[in-house]
Amino acid sequence: MREVQDIRIDNVETEGKVSLFRGKANVSGFEVTFNGIAVYTIGGPTVGIELDEDSKVRLTQSGLSEAELDDLLGELQRLIVEGDLILSGEKRVRGQPL
């Protein structure tokens, strides 16, 4: 399993109970970029993320299998749900005055 560190959320747009976000993370020395969605429910947030294509290619070329890539996404999602991140960019909430 590759180590995931330094998760940074660069852009968040929220409307109601749904947030769309973009971010970066360090995965064993590789900077990866991802898009995600968080849906806030009674039991807590549900988070789904997808790596950008360039990040997938670099990780696969470094020897990561499809199963290991899935495990990596699961770990990244878990860390985001647990709040192990830095919100470093723009945050917009639709439907609310600034």
* pLDDT single digits (tens) 1-33: 578 889 999 999 999 899 999 999 999 888 999
Mean residue pLDDT across the chain: 88
Residue type, 57: V
Q: What is the pLDDT of residue 1?
A: 59
> In angstroms, how far is CA 36 from the centroid of its own chain?
5
pLDDT reading at 95 higher than 70: no
Question: Residue 34 forms beta bridges with which residues?
Answer: 23, 51
* pLDDT single digits (tens) 31-83: 999 999 999 988 888 999 999 999 999 999 999 999 999 999 999 999 999 88
